[in-house]
Amino acid sequence: MRISITSFVLLLFCSGCGTYNSIDNFYDRHKNDDQVTAIRVPQFMLSLVSGISPEMKSLVGSTKDLRYMQFPSATPTRSRFLNNQMNGITGNSFIEVFRKNDDLKRNVVSIREKKNTVKEILVYNNNSQTGSFLYFNGDFDPVKVREMAQKEKFQDLGSHLLGQFAPGTGAPPKEP
């Protein structure tokens, strides 16, 4: 009886740990949270997004899934929680191509690759007031992705995406 109770507790613990370990789960769990902005760009609207910048145009061509989420991160506890969640998502299955840590502030670009092609790009930013992620799924040129990460070209794409989809505004909102 002791083994089965231990096994049951272990199973519950493991299932609880894996609840956020994907972009889908994280997005679905938090898209309805207070003060969250969530954008999932449908296929037919990707051409609008390609006009944001030349870099975006080169990325969007093969994009199958594009998401952006911005969420409050105003307390150290919330910042730690979000940083840990993103670390759990990228975990062992993504390769970090850029990371900048400053206390609880984070700037991370991670990719998932298959052979010579980048399949997924996850850009996570947290400035200890606001957190955000930008996610691409498709087939991308690894050299272009690396270049964009090195030149920090991913940083402004989220705010530009908000500008394209935010109601009543054509300009990107200012981030704190």
Give the chain's mean pLDDT: 79
Q: Once rounded to an integer, what is the mean pLDDT over residues 100-113?
A: 92
- Rg, Å, the chain Cα set: 17
What is the Cα–Cα distance from 51 to 63, expressed in whole angstroms? 14
**Which tokens go with 102?**
């400053």
Percentage with pLDDT > 70 across the chain: 77
Cross-strand bridge partners of residue 117: 114
The pTM of the full predicted model, rounded to 2 decimals, is: 0.77
Question: Which residues, including other chains, have CB under 8 Å from residue 59's CB and lie 6 or more apart?
Answer: 121, 136, 138, 140, 144, 148
Residue type, 24: D
Q: Residue 144's pLDDT is what?
A: 83
**Which tokens go with 166?**
């935010």
Cβ contact 175:130 at 8 Å: yes
Cross-strand bridge partners of residue 49: none
Q: Residue 43's pLDDT is what?
A: 80
What is the Cα–Cα distance from 172 to 155, expressed in whole angstroms? 13
What is the Cα–Cα distance from 104 to 87, expressed in whole angstroms? 13
**Which tokens go with 78?**
């919330």
Cross-strand bridge partners of residue 135: 67, 122
What is the Cα–Cα distance from 102 to 30, expressed in whole angstroms? 25
pLDDT band at 166 (very low <50, low <70, confident <90, very high): low
**Which tokens go with 38?**
């969530």
Nearest alpha carbon to residue 164 among 33, 48, 2, 76: 48
